[in-house]
Structure 1
Amino acid sequence: MIPRLDDYKKKWAVDSDLSIKPGLDAILEALEMLQNPEQKCSYVHVAGTNGKGSTIAFLEQIARNHGLKVGKFMSPCIVDVHDQLQINGKSITENEMDELFIQLKNAGLSGKLTDFELLTCAAFLYFSQQEVDLVLLETGMGGREDSTNVITPIVSIITSIALEHTRFLGSTIESIAKHKAGIIKENIPAVIGRLPQEAFQVIEAEAFAKHAPIIALGDHFDVTVDDTDVYTNDGKGLEINKLVRVLPGAHQADNMALAITAFFEVADYLKIPIEIDEIRNAVRMTSLPGRFEEVLANVYFDGAHNPASAEKLMETIKRQFPNEPIRFVIGMLADKDVKTVLQLLEQVSDEFYFVDFENERAMTSEKMMALSAASNVAVLTDYISFLENVSTKEGKTFVTGSLYLLTEIREQLLK
């Protein structure tokens, strides 16, 4: 469910299906009915298990610091459907969304698409009509059969590959890599993160078949993490030092490096000069909701919803707060590897509070608590009072698990 999308569907009598239906036939037909707005913009297409949002955040800020008007389509939302469509960091307005839905209705799209396909069509319309210079397009799930995979980008980015959405993408690293590899296009460069060997082989085979150059982290470019980061790019014969990040963790250094590398491709394509100081400024300015985000004093949001992201969160907590008490407030979807996530987080804390949240796929707090090996566990109902209370206590509290949970708690805090 996409918060507030139903408001527009009901207001303008545009029906769409809540289910997930991988495949491109429906959206290709719909886009043709809209006069193919997806063909009128320049894109960077981003897939990956983890790191998509952070990589896009770095890339958006770098592009904006170089004077570009940047559209961004991401999922899931932070608060509601409006923040999934942004231009230069500003969410689409209600009036702008009304205008899009009038066009979707008049084109005859009601009843033809899933919710995500409908929103993807709205995004293509919005960015084409607003004449943005660059669109950063995040896949919803997988890549090959994802509704965003109807464009030819300037560059494709695959940030990481781990087990996820196994019901739709398959139960092996290779099968998931096959889906992610689907965003690689003929003769279009692909910037690749640090991947398991079995995943990289799949990506490499796809790129070879499509004559797409691979630019791989740890091979063609790299980043050294210290008090300040150093980015190196052998292909460009370039080194950028004194890179200072707000987003902590070595994994965020990797995401930064992916973004910088992709921007070189964007700059070449759009024929704009690269300003190294503006890259430094952009890196320093980049932050992201739900990624080690301090929302109250000593209370952090981090959407670690699978083992790979939970491991990164655990490592970052160890590095940032080595001697402080840590507690977790957590809720997750039942189709995730909940037990492994808990085992990883239990390496830094023995205090867990489990919560229920509004999502039909959510695991109940009681079931989650039964999977935990921590000794200090409880089900939490009034999480707002709890978070306000612990913000004045010793230690750090992390709200984690599903991004849908973070969205719900954020909305309650804002109220």
Structure 2
Amino acid sequence: MIPRLDDYKKKWEVASDQSIKPGLDAMKEALRLLNNPEKNLAFVHVAGTNGKGSTITFLEGISRRHGLNVGKFMSPCIVDVHDQLQINGIPISEKEMDDVFSRLKNAGLSGKLTDFELLTCAAFLYFSQQELDFVLLEAGMGGLEDSTNVITPIVSIITSIALEHTKFLGTTIESIAVHKAGIIKQNTPVVVGRLPIEASAVVDNAAFDKRASLIELGDHFEVSIDGSSEVYTNDEKGLQIKNIVRALPGKHQADNMAIAITAFFEVAEFLDITADLDKIRKGIYGACLPGRFEEVLPNVYFDGAHNPASAEKLVQTIKGEFSDEKIRFVVGMLGDKDVRAVLHLLEQVSDEFYFVDFANDRAMTAKEMLSLSNASHASSLKDYTSFLEAASTSEGKTFVTGSLYLLTEIRGSLIKNKI
């Protein structure tokens, strides 16, 4: 469920299905009825199991430092549906969303799409009305059959590949890689993060078949530590960027940063602008992302570690940042994730867990999560708002983690209660 989307659907009498239906036929027909607004836009298309949001955030920061006007379509939302459609970091307004839904209704799209397909169409319509240099477009699930995969981008990005959404994408790394590699387009460069060997082979073959220039982290570009800063090296372009400092913590964010810098060079070439190294540094330094090691209250952090790969990164960051601190977790997850594996990883740094229910049809219950926990101090939690308020003045650090939908719900509760 996407918060506030139903308000617009009801107001404008535009019906859509909450289920997930992979495939592009419905999208292509809907866009035809809308006169193909996506054809008037330039895109950077981003897929990957983890790192999409951070990479987009770094790339947006760099681009805006260069004076570019940037649209952004991401999921899930931070507070409600407006967050998912942004221009230069500013969410779409209610008036603008009303205008978009009026056009969706007039095009006769009611009943033809899923919620995410409808929102993708809304994004294309909205962005096509603006003066944008390009749009950062995040794939919702997979890539090959995702509703966003109806465009030809400036550059494609595949940040990472691990097991996820196995019901729809398959149960092996290779099958999931096929879906991610589906965003690679003919004669279009693709920037790729560190991938498992079996995934790398799939992506390499897809790039070769499409005659797409493959730019790989660890092969064509790299990031290294130099004292308290980092150095980006691009052998293809024969350059280094020294003295880079990130606000987003965690070693894994260095890779996302490097991917974003590399993609920006492709954007700059397409737009025929000069990449300024100091503006790149400033864009990286200013980049921050809600739900990624985000301190929302004193000593209370949000991090959307929703699968084993992202949970492992969260554990590594906690060990690096708070090795001597007491850690507790507030957890809620979707039932189609590998909940047991995520909990096993988190239990490396804490034995105090609180499990919560949240409003999503796919959510695992707090009781079910509790039964999977090996923590010595584990219980279910009803009033998480009061708990987090108290935790902000308690010893140690509290991490709210698991589903990004959980983070959205709790953030809304905190805002409502003006904590």
- TM-score category of the 2 structures, normalised to the smaller one: over 0.9
Q: Which residue of 1 aligns with 2:194?
A: 194
SS of structure 2 residue aligned to 1:330? strand
- Extract structure 1 runs of 4+ deviating beyond 6 A: none
Residue equivalent to 2:171: 171
Say if 1:187 and 1:213, in contact at 8 Å, map to a contact too: yes
Partner of 1:42: 42
Query: Deviations for 1:106-129, whole angstroms, at most 9, x for unmatched residues?
Result: 111111111111100010011111
User: Which whole-Å CA distance do the structure 2 matches of 1:311 and 1:321 have between them?
Assistant: 15
Normalized against structure 2, the TM-score is what? 0.98
1:366 aligns with 2:403: no
Matches within 5 A, 1:154-303: 154-226=154-226, 227-303=228-304
Matched with 2:31 is: 31
Q: How does 1:131-142 map to 2 (within 5 A)?
A: 131-142=131-142
Aligned partner letter, 1:34: L
Code of the residue aligned with 1:290 in structure 2: it is: G
Shift of 1:149: 0.3
Q: CA deviation at 1:378?
A: 1.1
Aligned residue for 2:301, secondary structure, equals strand
Which residue in 2 is equivalent to 1:394? Answer: 395
Residues in 2 aligned to 1:155 and 1:350: alpha-carbon distance in whole angstroms: 43
How far, CA to CA, are the matches of 2:381 and 2:111 in structure 1? 39
Distance 1:295 1:19 in 2: 31
1:125 alignment counterpart? 125
Structure 2: segments with no counterpart, 5+ residues: none
Superposition deviation, residue 7 in structure 1: 0.3
- SS of 1:261's equivalent in the other structure is helix
Q: Distance in 2 between matches of 1:117 and 1:393?
A: 43
Take 2:111 and 2:79, find their aligned partners in 1: how far apart are those partners?
Answer: 26
**Which residue in the other structure is 1:94 paired with?**
94
AA aligned to 2:358 is F
1:399–1:406: 8 Å Cα contact kept in structure 2? yes
Cα shift at 1:391? 0.8
The one-character-per-residue Cα deviations of 1:83-117 (angstroms, maximum 9, x if unpaired) are 00000000000000000000001111111111111
In 1, Cα distance between equivalents of 2:113 and 2:337:
26
In the TM superposition, what are the counterparts of 1:275-354 in structure 2 within 5 Å? 275-354=276-355
User: Which residue of the partner structure matches residue 58 of structure 2?
Assistant: 58
C-alpha displacement of 1:131? 2.2
**1:270, CA displacement in angstroms?**
0.3
CA distance in 2: counterparts of 1:33 and 1:2, whole angstroms: 24
AA aligned opposite 1:413: L
Q: CA deviation at 1:225?
A: 3.1
Q: Is residue 144 of structure 1 aligned with residue 144 of structure 2? A: yes
- What's the counterpart of residue 376 of structure 1? 377
Partner of 2:17: 17
2: CA distance, partners of 1:67 / 1:273? 12
Could you say which residue in structure 1 is the equivalent of 2:356? Answer: 355
CA distance in 2, matches of 1:180, 1:229: 29
- Paired residue secondary structure (2:222): strand
Q: Secondary structure at the residue paired with 1:385? A: helix
Q: Secondary structure at the match of 2:86?
A: strand
Match of 1:400, SS? Answer: strand
Q: Compute the RMSD of aligned alpha carbons.
A: 0.6
Letter in 1 for 2:146: D
- State the shift of 1:394 in Å: 1.2
Between the aligned partners of 1:106 and 1:364, the Cα distance in structure 2 is: 40
SS of the residue corresponding to residue 152 of structure 2 reads coil
- Opposite residue 153 of structure 1, the aligned amino acid is P
Q: Is the 8 A contact 1:225 1:250 kept in 2?
A: no
- 1:249-274 residue CA offsets vs partner (Å, 9 max, x unmatched): 11100000000000000000000111
Structure 1: give runs of 5+ residues left out of the alignment.
Answer: none
Hey, what's the Cα distance between the residues in 2 that align with 1:305 and 1:73?
Answer: 20
The letter of the residue matching 1:382 is D
Aligned residues: 415
Q: CA deviation at 1:366?
A: 0.9
In structure 2, the partner of 1:104 is: 104
Aligned partners of 2:315, 2:80: CA distance in 1, in Å?
28
Which residue does 1:75 correspond to in 2?
A: 75
SS of 2:60's equivalent? helix
C-alpha deviation, 1:229, in angstroms: 1.0
Give the Cα separation in 1 of the matches to 2:324 and 2:225. Answer: 22
Other structure's SS at 1:225 match: strand
